[in-house]
A and B are shown apart, each in its own frame.
Chain A
Amino acid sequence: QKEVEQDPGPLSVPEGAIVSLNCTYSNSAFQYFMWYRQYSRKGPELLMYTYSSGNKEDGRFTAQVDKSSKYIPLFIRDSQPSDSATYLCAMSERNTGNQFYFGTGTSLTVIP
């Protein structure tokens, strides 16, 4: 079993839809959670970062952390074609910036 699991997709939604991207993990030592967005032929860029249970919102994006279920979904509200990308969840045990565990990513296409 991989330590971090994501639905690979591809996921295709119409513009304006609410998108839910799933990420689960097995190691209860993970305390810091990140979502990266990766456009085609580009490197990943940090989208969201959180370390506490509950919701963290940034514009149309909401990351939810449920440590009891080891589940950290990312929700995108009013999805736009510019949201079309691969979304990677990542996590670490410590905030020391030297050990990260990544999911394989979910490919999302938002159709105009």
Chain B
Amino acid sequence: DVKVTQSSRYLVKRTGEKVFLECVQDMDHENMFWYRQDPGLGLRLIYFSYDVKMKEKGDIPEGYSVSREKKERFSLILESASTNQTSMYLCASSSPGLAIGELFFGEGSRLTVL
């Protein structure tokens, strides 16, 4: 069974803290994504990676950075967390080689910044 695993389901951090959100996929997918999901706003793309060490900014990259040192792992970093970064963060992966270019999502990481 295909799997995207997000290491932390729930986190509570303080303003100014550095936050790491980890994501691992076991499907050998080339593409990996970080989205945030907020009520009324839907899913918004933060960053996208199409290969190891490659990344592209999404719609809302400000305040975030990413790291992809291995194909299976994609990390989202909040250098200095702020209250407006309280959200549900979803990691996803996909492969351009698949017949269906669907996204496979993790369970999500709910971050609260106090």
Contacts and interface: CB of A to CB of B under 8 A. Distances in A.
Given A44-B90, A102-B43, A97 B106 contact: no
A43 B101 contact: no
Contact of A97 (B4, B31, B43): B31
Nearest to B42: A104
A105 B42 CA distance: 7
Nearest to A49: B100
Interface string A6-45: 0010000000000000000000000010101000011111
Interface stretch (A53-61, A62-70, A71-79, A88-96): A88-96
Interface string B3-39: 0100000000000000000000000000100000000
A50 to B, nearest CB: 10
Interface string B63-91: 00000000000000000000000000010
Most buried by B among A32, A94, A95, A100: A100
A103 B104 CA distance: 17
B95 to A, nearest CB: 6
A98 B50 contact: yes
A88 B102 contact: no
B102 A97 contact: yes
B48 A98 contact: yes
A88 B50 contact: no
Contacts of A100: 103
Given A97-B31, A97-B98, A98-B50, A41 B108 contact: yes
B105 interface: yes
A34 B94 CA distance: 14
Contacts of B96: 96-98
Contacts of A94: 101
Contacts of A46: 100, 102-104
A102 B44 CA distance: 8
7 contacts: A32-B101, A34-B102, A36-B105, A44-B103, A97-B101, A98-B48, A98-B96
Given A98-B50, A100-B103, 4 more contacts: A49-B100, A98-B94, A102-B43, A105-B42
